[in-house]
Amino acid sequence: MSEEQSTRPRWRHGRPPWAREWREGDARPSWWPANEPFPPRDWPRMRPRFMRRVAFFAFLAFLFFAFLVAVFVTVLINFFSPATRGGPHPIVFVIAGLFLLMVVFNMGRQGVRRFAAPLGDLVDAAERVERGDYSVRVEARGPRSLRAFASAFNAMSARLERSEEERRRLLADVTHELRTPLTVVQGNVEALIDGVHPPDETHLRAILEETHVVSRLIDDLRTVSVAEAGALPLHRESTDLGALVRDIIASFDATAGAARVTLAVDTTGNLSLDVDPVRIREVLTNVVANALRYTPAGGRITVHATGFEHDVSIAVADTGPGIAPDVLPHIFERFTRSAESPGAGLGLAIAKSLVVAHGGTIDARSEPGRGAEIRFTLPRGTAS
């Protein structure tokens, strides 16, 4: 026996040499691609369906083979047996075979059409999406895999449509917010050039203030965009949120006093947390400023900070007129504000993006005429 024959793997009991090793997970067939796992990752889930299909096609193949054998045997008997020479002509069996082939061909064509029609719909819809029509949807029909594909395509198209609507609305809102300060700047500069106003500190300061408005708007938009994209850097450190809350409320004392609004703080539990104190200060400042903007004279704003085992909750409640039911679901979206409210409507959108960046949640509750409460929760993580 040659060396090549002695090293050639032998099949035992009708099984290839890699069958046992496959079960042990330490080998793969020689014909399997080197960069693919063996068995496939989804094999446990796909195996029952695969085996059913194999059994079905094996059964069809058996029937077809049995029919051909029956035809062949019958033709032989018809030709060579004296008892059957007066029987059916062999052309009958030829016609029967052709008929069977036509049936099989028709079944195959129907199967191809079953796949081809949904695929054609998907191709047409994809071309429409490529042209910018994100409203297109396809009917989920055909085999299960194509129905799943159609559902995924519809979900993708819906997301693209929402993104396009948000992009257009954002562009319109930014244009609106920039128009006012730029108009003021343009008017003052033209007045200075024409000699209508003297170039004194008062008029120059008005121009400077409007440029600050534009700069803050751009910074706020950048903060929201970067945070929503998950690219906002957070400089976490152990922070006493109770002290942070009291410090922020103290910074609003003068503004609240001028508006004749009472500020109160209530802290409970362990409020030490690993967060970015600058970003959390920005969150709380925006929420308190929003509450102060809507609370009338004689009203009250209370900040509740509560430490739990796994998180810390901070709620800002006011005694203002509350949030309109049609506005409440959109309160954390960009440029959402009432018609009489000043500002760009970015404060709560920034607050939400910063809280989410910390892995927390934020929500708003309100009843018209009974005030509003905005609560955000921050997970402890590795906080002490």
Peptide bond into 82 cis (omega under 30): no
Q: Find how far residue 11's CA is from the centre of its chain.
A: 51
pLDDT score, position 113: 66
- Give me the residue label for tokens 């108009």: 183
Residue-range domain boundaries for the chain? 165-228, 237-379
d(CA 60, CA 218): 68
DSSP secondary structure code for residue 321 in this structure: S
pLDDT score, position 5: 47
Q: In this structure, are residues 375 and 314 in contact, taking their beta carbons and an 8 Å threshold?
A: yes
Q: What is the CATH code of the structural domain delimited by 165-228? A: 1.10.287.130
Question: Comparing 306 with 202, which gets the higher pLDDT?
Answer: 306
Lowest mean pLDDT among 41-45, 209-213, 270-274: 41-45
- For domain 237-379, give the fold: Heat Shock Protein 90 (3.30.565)
The per-residue DSSP string of 142-184 comes to: SSHHHHHHHHHHHHHHHHHHHHHHHHHHHHHHHHHHHHHHHHH
Condensed to tens digits (0 to 9), the pLDDT of residues 274-313 reads 999 988 998 998 899 888 888 899 999 999 999 998 999 9
Condensed to tens digits (0 to 9), the pLDDT of residues 55-74 reads 777 777 777 777 767 766 66
pTM for the structure as a whole: 0.54
Dihedrals phi, psi of 249, to nearest 5 degrees: -60, -40
